[in-house]
Chain A
Amino acid sequence: MIRLQNIEKVYRTDRIETVALAEVNMDVTEGEFISVMGPSGCGKSTLLNLIGLLDAPTKGTVQINGSPIATYRDRALAAVRNKEIGFVFQTFHLISDLSVLDNVQIPLLYRRMSNGERRKLALAAIDRVGLSARVQHFPSQLSGGQQQRVAIARAIVGRPRILLADEPTGNLDSQMGDEVMTILKTLSADDKTTIVMVTHDQQKADQTQRIVRLFDGRQVN
Chain B
Amino acid sequence: MRVALVDSPIDVAALISEVSDDSCGAATVFLGSVRNVNEGRAVTGIEYSAYRSMAEREMSAIAHEAAERFGVTRLIVEHRLGTLGLGDVSVAIVSAHPHRAPALDAMRFAIEQLKRRVPIWKLELYVDGTREWVGAVSIPEGVR
Whether A associates with B in a native complex is: no
